[in-house]
């Protein structure tokens, strides 16, 4: 809902320096203009060009979005079974898979893709995440209307006949085909298989071809934004939008994702009750993956080894210091997020059993322990989003290797986290317990095959600002 009120002077902090559109209704989406009060100031400057592009996108979305005359016209074309040339509006429809962190990273990547290729982004959110976020674009909706004909995410996979790569291989069209001779839509499959993304996607000829389709369905589980930076034809535009390369998700994430009031309520209540009084807030995210289980004692020991090496958690003393009530001791809050309660119990116990070296007062909190991932449950996802947000209000952070949940939290915060590394595939214990991320950006675990640029092209060797990740050694991220 947009209310074009006659607001007095704009508060630039509230608009994240101009990232957010002004004059949206504050009551129906409280988080949008309130988050800034809880978070550290962004370490990045916002490019005025990005602001301009976002405002331009918003106008385009409003012109072509659901319910408009142009949307109806485009739908007619879609149902006719045939593509047409020179359409006024082009669309990319995002379909989800995996958990919330993955979804947030890939939807933001799709939005960046929409900006670069001038498409309107619509999202199939599904029942489980329909009410998690506010609408990001003024005066319109990004939710895919329920009567959209191809709205079955399960039909979209590597072998879908309408997938771009499958059609190309089948000879269903050629690079010089006319737009009007093409089918009504194309499916772009960007889900990893064997931790790679398909060849013939991040290649110039293919991108040129893809632009001919007015309707694109896209399904992905990956933060593919770094792969867009490998495309010569997008580099100039990306440079203008993101002169600081490592700010991509930081800006786009804070632009797109505003927790709906119900989730924001959780966030505010928890923050006010437990975190607001702390002088320093320390975030610790512990994620155990099914494909690489780590025993509780081993993980706990890794956290302590990391802490000892880099001074992450407040240091323990071995003798009881004289506590002087009148000196102002620092209050440090440790916020733990994990599906399990064990780490919290153990760490809280340490600070109950032992004094701290500097007389700091330490409190330890964990908002929930869900025990199991339940991506299909709305209430579960609300907690997950609330915890990602609460983590992002911390002053420093340690996250688990490979976890997109952790990536979203530290990128929102604009923090370079400590990463608790995963043991080598044949080992039980991580030799190096943690390493500092060199960038605020998330990692793309599954880099694209780039055979179009020569066999065995390594995506990390093409441009200086795309390199391998600290936690996933074949993955790539922006620096
Ligand atoms: P990733 O699997 O770590 O990359 O992160 P995802 O967010 O994609 O998927 C993990 C899902 O498990 C989350 O979305 C939550 O549903 C759940 N989950 C994992 N860790 C936590 C946690 O610390 N707190 C809560 N509330 N849920 C979690």
The CA distances from residue 199 to 292, 356, 451, in Å, are 28, 54, 6
Rounded Cα–Cα distance for residues 377 and 456 (Å): 41
Query: Ligand 1 centre from 403 Cα, in Å?
Result: 8
| 256-291 tens-digit pLDDT | 999 999 999 999 999 999 999 999 999 999 999 999
Atom from ligand 1 closest to the CA of residue 98: 8
- Residue 11 pLDDT: 86
Atom from ligand 1 closest to the CA of residue 101: 7
Contacts for 228 with CB less than 8 Å, ≥ 6 apart: 109, 112, 113, 116, 202, 234, 238
Region 56-67: mean pLDDT is 98
The model's confidence at residue 2, banded by pLDDT at 50, 70 and 90, is very low
Q: Are 61 and 91 in contact (CB under 8 A)?
A: no
| 189-246 tens-digit pLDDT | 999 999 999 999 999 999 999 999 999 999 999 999 999 999 999 999 999 999 999 9
Region 156-178: mean pLDDT is 96
Atom from ligand 1 closest to the CA of residue 404: 4
Query: Pocket of ligand 1, candidates 373, 381, 383, 417: which has the most ligand atoms within 8 Å of its Cβ, to mutate?
Result: 373
* Cβ-based burial of 462 (10 A; exposed 0-12, middle 13-18, buried ≥19): middle
Kindly tell me if the per-residue pLDDT of 321 is higher than 80. Answer: no
Q: Are 109 and 220 in contact (CB under 8 A)?
A: yes
Q: How many CB atoms lie within 10 A of CB 304?
A: 17
| 76-112 tens-digit pLDDT | 999 999 999 999 999 999 999 999 999 999 999 999 9
Residue whose CA is closest, atom 19 of ligand 1? 339
Atom from ligand 1 closest to the CA of residue 287: 20
Q: Does any ligand 1 atom lie closer than 6 A to the CB of residue 263? A: no
- Residue 128 pLDDT: 83
Region 321-338: mean pLDDT is 83
Q: Does any ligand 1 atom lie closer than 6 A to the CB of residue 221? A: no
Interface predicted TM-score (ipTM): 0.99
The model's confidence at residue 4, banded by pLDDT at 50, 70 and 90, is very low
- Residue 326 pLDDT: 56
Atom from ligand 1 closest to the CA of residue 338: 23
Residue whose CA is closest, atom 5 of ligand 1? 405
What domains appear along the chain, each with residue ranges and CATH number? 36-246 (no CATH), 261-478 (3.40.50.11350)
Region 163-173: mean pLDDT is 97
Rounded Cα–Cα distance for residues 153 and 376 (Å): 14
Element (H, E) at 374: none
Query: Pocket of ligand 1, candidates 98, 99, 417: which has the most ligand atoms within 8 Å of its Cβ, to mutate?
Result: 99
Query: Ligand 1 centre from 369 Cα, in Å?
Result: 11
Radius of gyration of the chain (CA): 23
Kindly tell me if the per-residue pLDDT of 401 is higher than 80. Answer: yes
Q: Does any ligand 1 atom lie closer than 6 A to the CB of residue 101? A: yes
Element (H, E) at 50: helix 48-64
Query: Pocket of ligand 1, candidates 221, 384, 386, 422: which has the most ligand atoms within 8 Å of its Cβ, to mutate?
Result: 384
Buried b (16+ CB within 10 A) or exposed e, 210-221: bebbbbbbbbbb
Residue whose CA is closest, atom 10 of ligand 1? 99
Instruction: Specify the residue for token string 């795309």.
Output: 466
Quote the tokens at residue 381: 């996802």
Pairing state between β 466-468 and 476-478: antiparallel
Average pLDDT of the chain, as a whole number: 95
């Amino acid at each position: 809902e947009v209310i074009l009120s006659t607001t007095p002077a704009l508060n630039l902090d509230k608009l994240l320096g101009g990232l957010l559109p002004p004059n949206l209704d504050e009551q129906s989406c409280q988080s949008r203009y309130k988050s800034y009060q809880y978070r550290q100031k962004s370490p990045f400057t916002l490019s005025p060009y990005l602001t301009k592009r976002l405002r331009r996108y918003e106008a385009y979305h409003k012109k072509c979005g659901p319910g408009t005359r142009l949307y109806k016209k485009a739908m007619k074309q879609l149902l006719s079974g045939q593509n047409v040339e020179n359409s006024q509006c082009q669309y990319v429809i995002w379909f989800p898979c995996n958990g919330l962190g993955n979804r947030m990273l890939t939807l933001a990547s799709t939005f960046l893709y929409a900006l670069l290729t001038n498409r309107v982004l619509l999202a199939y959110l599904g029942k489980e995440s329909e009410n998690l976020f506010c609408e990001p674009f003024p005066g319109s909706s990004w939710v895919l209307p329920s009567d959209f004909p191809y709205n079955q995410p399960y039909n979209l996979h590597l072998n879908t006949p309408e997938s771009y790569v499958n059609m190309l291989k089948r000879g269903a069209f050629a690079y010089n085909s006319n737009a009007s001779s093409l089918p009504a839509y194309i499916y772009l499959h960007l889900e990893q298989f064997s931790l790679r993304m398909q060849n013939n996607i991040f290649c110039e000829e293919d991108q040129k071809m893809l632009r001919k389709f007015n309707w694109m369905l896209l399904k992905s589980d990956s933060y593919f934004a770094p792969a867009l930076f490998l495309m010569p034809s997008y580099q100039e535009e990306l440079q203008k939008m993101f002169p600081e390369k490592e700010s991509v998700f930081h800006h786009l994430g804070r632009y797109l994702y505003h927790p709906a009031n119900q989730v924001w309520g959780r966030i505010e209540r928890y923050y006010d009750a437990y975190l607001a009084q702390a002088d320093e807030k320390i975030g610790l995210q512990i994620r155990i993956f099914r494909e690489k289980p780590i025993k509780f004692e081993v993980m706990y020991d890794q956290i302590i080894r990391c802490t000892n090496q880099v001074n992450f958690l407040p240091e323990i003393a071995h003798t009881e210091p004289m506590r002087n009530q009148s000196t102002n001791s620092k209050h440090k809050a440790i916020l733990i997020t994990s599906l399990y309660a064990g780490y919290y119990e153990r760490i809280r116990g340490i600070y109950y059993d032992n004094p701290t070296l500097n007389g700091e007062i330490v409190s330890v909190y964990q908002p929930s322990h869900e025990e199991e991932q339940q991506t299909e449950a709305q209430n579960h996802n609300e907690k997950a989003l609330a915890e990602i947000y609460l983590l992002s209000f911390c002053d420093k952070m340690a996250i688990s290797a490979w976890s997109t949940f952790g990536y979203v939290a530290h990128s929102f915060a604009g923090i370079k986290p400590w990463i608790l590394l995963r043991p080598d595939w044949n080992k039980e214990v991580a030799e190096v317990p943690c390493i500092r991320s060199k960038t605020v950006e998330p990692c793309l675990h599954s880099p694209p095959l780039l055979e179009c640029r020569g066999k065995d092209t390594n995506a990390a060797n093409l441009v200086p600002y795309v390199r391998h990740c600290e936690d996933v050694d074949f993955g790539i991220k922006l620096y």
